Amino acid sequence: MTDTHSVSPMKVKLIFPTPDVAKDYYRQIVFLACKLCYSESSPEEIWENLQSGKITDKKIESLINKVVASGHHSTIEHIVFSFAISSVSRTLTHQLVRHRIGVAFDQQSQRYVSLSSPVFVEPPTIAENSEAHGLYQQAQQQMAQTYDQLLKLGIPSEDARFVFPQGVCSNLIMTVNLRELIHISGLRLCSLAQWEIRSMFQKVRAEVKQVSPYFSRMMVPHCVNEGFCSELGNKNGHCRIRPHIDQVQAIYTRWKNGELVDAPETDSSGEND
């Protein structure tokens, strides 16, 4: 009988850049892109100044912060991150590959790879319920046995795979530029994102933090930068990271109609005038 395992040890490993590459080139390349747009100097001259140490880390980050905050995001498309991702469900990869701009994926093929020991992701809600857990394991065993029998009958793996559910594990490599990585993280780190892909991007952010704490700080739920939540599932405001846009618009409407009095101005000591 084919062995199956319910527990998925999801792994995310940043394979490029190395810490040294990130330290010596990544902020510098983005700074070069930012500075070039507003300078008479050639890119070679700017790069030489960077390499000679004439431009401090503080100045580098200050300019990047200003340019990115202004919305000039093409400047952060010049650096990429490559991740090895293993033991994630097809449910996750179906979501992930919907991101198409500035990102490349290559995934383990169920057509060419025969799964001798299929592994399944088990959602916490099932794992924490003993009866549901038993049913899930039973279904896994049945599907694994059926798959194995189909292969023994000469059915090609590309057809035998049809018995597998979305919970079966897969492996992939993802390479993404920083602009798209920030965009995807903004969506997938949201508290309303599906639990597995949210967990994956928490690991992605942790991996980036190991080589560049500076850039990892840009990877936040999208509401943090936008200043409000636009998720339909948060109209009741149960996630309090940022107020829902309906609340913001309601307050603005009340202010516009004169129903709210402006907050009193304060002096530098914080006391009312």
- Positive or negative, the CA dihedral 93, 98, 104, 110 is positive
Q: Which residue has the tokens 């009741």?
A: 236
- The catalytic residue among 188, 205, 217, 254 is 188
144-179 b/e (C-beta count within 10 Å ≥ 16 → b)? beebbebbeeeeebeebbebbeebbbbebebbbbbb
- Positive or negative, the CA dihedral 87, 88, 90, 96 is negative
Q: How far is CA 4 from CA 11, 147, 151, 196, in A?
A: 18, 12, 16, 20
Task: Give catalytic status of residue 188 as yes or no.
Answer: yes
Residue type at position 157? S
Active centre residues (catalytic): 188
